[in-house]
Structure 1
Amino acid sequence: MLFFGGYRVGQVKRFVLTTVLASVMLPGCAGPQVQPLMPTPIVFSALDFSPLAHIPEDQRWTPRRVYYATTRQRTQDLQKIDYTNNEADRISLGMSLVGFGVPQMSWSELSNASRQPERDGDIELALSGLVEIGNFEAATAETPAIDAAGALSWLANDINTSIDAARDKDLLIYVHGAKVNFYNTNAFAAQLDHFMGRDMTSLAFSWPTRQSILAYGTGSDVRRAYRAAPALTSLLEELSKGTTARKIHIVCWSAGGRVVTAALKEMFERHAGNDEDLRERFRLGTVYYAAADVPQSEFIEALPALNALTSRMVVTVSSKDSALVMAKSFMGGGLRIGQRASDLSEEQMGIVREAGRLEVVDVSRDWEGRGFDITGHRYWFDHPWASSDVVLSVRSDFSPAERGLAPTDHSLLWSIPADYPERLRRILTRENLSSGLREP
């Protein structure tokens, strides 16, 4: 359901105390530590409704907790928690506390800014605290995960406490793209969670890309993305086994789509022969591919596996995503799924048609009617119309038409129409946003 709520007060107080101590004793990771809050999705500004309006007064605190899992190597400095660009052979687990705005920013100021189409200034997000709870060695097809210190058990138990206290019983995982650091992953996960109404439990998966276009363009970080995929596979297996999450949703951006595609393909291959409903076992909900830098041929090859595992796959495409145009031109590998599909063979078209859980949202289609195109590589995040579909795809079980999208001449392909805000106003109200939209 698309309802909104928070954590138990006692749980919040314990975490605040822990993270405040951690921020003093164990400073967070290096690199840029501040970025602005994303623009308000139009689903809120069009309805003049804050995603935070429903939250009870005793749960109104501006920072937001995010769980994390990372295959970045921790620094050797014992005086602080810091994750580098180096690859680790184990998966570290922990929690971060992401602050919204300056410390003096009030809840009402944050809530009002979160419904406004234009803001007076930036609301900066900072990593206020960091707690590592341990690490584990990923499972393989032949061996189970190695968790001698019980980090996975601790994580699952704490996530279950969070899920039990939340009004939405689902778990959201964010997988980033290239050229970002550990802080960025947590900040993006926190603000996605923020505009989901702060009602879910969220986790950031951080793989060790470097903050260099050269590292990615030469293929070095692409290989790192694929090497990180088994860790995500193992994490998803453990979360589905150890947590009570109703569904586990994934939002992946750019190169993060490679990590997710490879991870889910490996999961399917590990378990396909078990004669069971893998969708029911792993409880994967919406997997949202935002501006994904995944070669089209690679995605289509994996599509039957993804279709067997997930409740829904949403792929956004744009004709004016310069980063993907450059990736295709300079890195090879053919067309990316974040671009408009073309030149599909008859066999590939057959695979796409059979993927009944696939939805493709072309954000450039019919741009003339809207009077503007939705462009760039961060459009899914920066453009209020595109980000609204991310929110509704994860927070509701709505079909594309019920999310305000317009059909095209292809049953899998949808567009964002010129009257999108009006459609949202007809479909949604403040009351049903508050009471919930997801079917039980």
Structure 2
Amino acid sequence: MVYLMDNRSYLFCVSVFLIFLSGCSTNQQVKIDLMEAPGIYAQRNYDALGEDLSSHDTYPKDIFYVTQRVPSNSEIKDQPRFYQHERGYALRGGTASIGMGDGENTWDDLAEVFLSSEREKAYPTWIDAVHEYGILEDTISSLRLDPIKHKDALESGPEFIAQVNKTLAQSRVKDIYIFVHGYKAYFDTPVLVGAQLWHYLGYQGAFVAYSWPSTPNSLAYGKDIETANYSGMYLHRFLNVLAKHSEAERIHVIGFSAGGRVVINALKEMALVNGNKGRAQMLEQQRLGEVVLISSDYDSDNFLNGIEYGMLKLMRGLTVYSSQSDDALGFSHFILGRERLGQFGAEGGKDILQEDIDQVPFGDHLYLVNATRAENAGSGNGHSYFRNSPWVSSDLLTLLRYQLAPGNRGLVRRNDGSAIWTFPDNYIEALNTQLSDTISLDEK
């Protein structure tokens, strides 16, 4: 009887945990409210990152996506509008058109809304339509998919890369940005979040929303963890496609929450496959710039295993954000019994990773940022602070746009000798000072 009661208690805790973790709405008409305006755009600073946000005369902008999900069938009742939650065995690429507000806003209206720190109401965003180009041939699983059955989609697949290269050719910034979403998400989720980030980057470069087949259900956490681990292979193949066929100068990857599993597993595979190559050769071959892990629901020890495999030689820099206000990861830690990567930096306690950092090869390319003290980082359950905190979003956007080290973005070390960077009380002022010099140099 005691054994049964223990298991019931455990299942109860698991259920509470699953419901508590963040995720998007289960409503198939997926809408995500506009994120908090980054602090660098305060006082209507239209060109805080060197790109004038008031110069765009139309909205929405089409954003690229790739997905491993199975396409929806409009003839079957109750399916999602665009893609299902089931695993496919190749990546499909396309573009999505984004709607916002009441659907009738002018650009002048939206420009003010995007920059305002005190909005009178929420402004939802949604996908109006998608246009799929086709299957990316180099991502096909040879064991699970018969390419002959997808001849038309295969012939259209190269158009995706052609359109990405066209976008890069028209941009002053020749970089590709990839956003990988977390647990419990529809296809739409990374597209809408990515579109908002791309706006604040001034529509420079090419932005790709990477939608792996998670399930928008609170009880799907275990299923999503396994699918995230499995999906790393497809992200690995996609990065190889971009390195081989795109004209990008650098490719940046942002992994949020369980999406960090997808990113880390892809990097592990790449490191193992290319284990005999040096850092300079890998940077030239893969062109990976900044890899960013936010609120990462990943075993810290397993992350260090990836470092031992040689992950850091693949990229220019790896930045890991954490927050002690992230209650979702607190529950994950409680249930799984292991420290999560997004939890380091406890005040007065043991710092996960910090005591190991001096042993890390290429340690100067790994940056740990504790966002606990950043403005509004603890709102909600504290998990989506990269969207809710105007300080964290400012730091993230600056990192992606200029690839500056933490000290050159206004951050400070927590104490002498610490491997962890934090947000000072005058963070926005410090960042603006740094950006003023950086933008001046960038324009020369």
Q: Quote the Cα distance in structure 1 between the aligned partners of 2:73 and 2:188.
A: 18
- SS of 2:220's equivalent? helix
| 8 Å contact kept, 2:377–2:388 | no
Shift of 1:110: 1.3
Aligned to 1:428: 435
- Tell me whether 191-200 or 44-53 shows the greater mean CA deviation: 44-53
| Correspondences of 1:1-400 after superposition (within 5 Å) | 31-45=28-42, 48-49=45-46, 54=52, 59-77=56-74, 82-136=82-136, 139=139, 149-216=154-221, 219-273=222-276, 277-304=281-308, 305-332=310-337, 334-340=338-344, 342=350, 348-352=356-360, 354-364=362-372, 367=373, 374=378, 376-400=382-406
Q: Quote the Cα distance in structure 2 between the aligned partners of 1:47 and 1:82.
A: 36
Shift of 1:138: 5.2
Shift of 1:53: 6.9
Q: Are the structure 2 counterparts of residues 74 and 372 from structure 1 closer, same or farther at C-alpha, using a change threshold of 3 Å?
A: closer
1:323-376 CA deviation, whole Å, 9 max, x = no partner?
0010111133x1111001647699944443642211111112xx4xx8976450
Q: Are the structure 2 counterparts of residues 264 and 140 from structure 1 closer, same or farther at C-alpha, using a change threshold of 3 Å?
A: farther
Q: Are the structure 2 counterparts of residues 299 and 138 from structure 1 closer, same or farther at C-alpha, using a change threshold of 3 Å?
A: farther
Q: Are the structure 2 counterparts of residues 354 and 425 from structure 1 closer, same or farther at C-alpha, using a change threshold of 3 Å?
A: closer
Shift of 1:306: 2.2
TM-score normalised by the chain length of structure 2: 0.82
- SS of 2:92's equivalent? strand
Q: Are the structure 2 counterparts of residues 343 and 92 from structure 1 closer, same or farther at C-alpha, using a change threshold of 3 Å?
A: same
Shift of 1:268: 1.8
Q: Quote the Cα distance in structure 2 between the aligned partners of 1:371 and 1:394.
A: 20
Shift of 1:150: 3.5
1:402 is aligned, of 397, 408, 416, to 408
Q: CA RMSD in A?
A: 3.0
1:387-419 CA deviation, whole Å, 9 max, x = no partner?
111101101122211111112334531000001
Gaps of 5+ in 2: 1-25
TM-score normalised by the chain length of structure 1: 0.83
Q: Please tell me the residue identity of whatever aligns with 1:122.
A: A
Q: Please tell me the residue identity of whatever aligns with 2:421.
A: W
Q: Are the structure 2 counterparts of residues 120 and 298 from structure 1 closer, same or farther at C-alpha, using a change threshold of 3 Å?
A: same
Q: Please tell me the residue identity of whatever aligns with 2:223.
A: S
Q: Quote the Cα distance in structure 2 between the aligned partners of 1:203 and 1:371.
A: 28
| 8 Å contact kept, 1:307–1:357 | yes
Number of aligned residues: 400
Shift of 1:432: 6.2
Matched residues, percent identical? Answer: 26
| 8 Å contact kept, 2:91–2:140 | no
| 8 Å contact kept, 1:48–1:116 | no
| 8 Å contact kept, 1:228–1:259 | yes
Q: Quote the Cα distance in structure 2 between the aligned partners of 1:438 and 1:256.
A: 34
Q: Are the structure 2 counterparts of residues 126 and 39 from structure 1 closer, same or farther at C-alpha, using a change threshold of 3 Å?
A: same
Q: Are the structure 2 counterparts of residues 140 and 68 from structure 1 closer, same or farther at C-alpha, using a change threshold of 3 Å?
A: closer
Q: Quote the Cα distance in structure 2 between the aligned partners of 1:123 and 1:398.
A: 31
| 8 Å contact kept, 2:375–2:390 | no
Q: Are the structure 2 counterparts of residues 419 and 47 from structure 1 closer, same or farther at C-alpha, using a change threshold of 3 Å?
A: farther
Q: Quote the Cα distance in structure 2 between the aligned partners of 1:346 and 1:205.
A: 30
Aligned to 1:6: none
| 8 Å contact kept, 1:30–1:82 | no
